[in-house]
């Protein structure tokens, strides 16, 4: 699964330089995690 692969990359620090992780928790404690390892050059 793509999500598992991204989680493995995050935990092992393998996101490319310039990658971003955005974590949002709304007022109902729903957590949204957005990960980008795309480098815009």
What is the reported pLDDT for 21? Answer: 79
Q: What is the pLDDT of residues 14-30, one digit of tens each?
A: 666 777 778 888 889 88
Domains contained in the chain, number: 1
Query: Residue 15's domain spans which residues?
Result: 2-36
Q: Is residue 8 part of a domain?
A: yes
Tokens of 24: 């949002």
- The pairs formed by 8-15 with CB atoms below 8 angstroms and a separation of 24 or more are 9/37, 10/35
The residue-averaged pLDDT of 7-16 equals 70
pTM for this prediction: 0.38
Q: Is residue 25 part of a domain?
A: yes
């Amino acid at each position: 699964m793509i999500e598992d692969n991204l989680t493995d990359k995050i935990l092992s620090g393998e996101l490319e330089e310039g990658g971003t992780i955005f974590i949002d928790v709304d007022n109902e404690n729903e957590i949204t995690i957005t990960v980008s390892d795309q480098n815009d050059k």
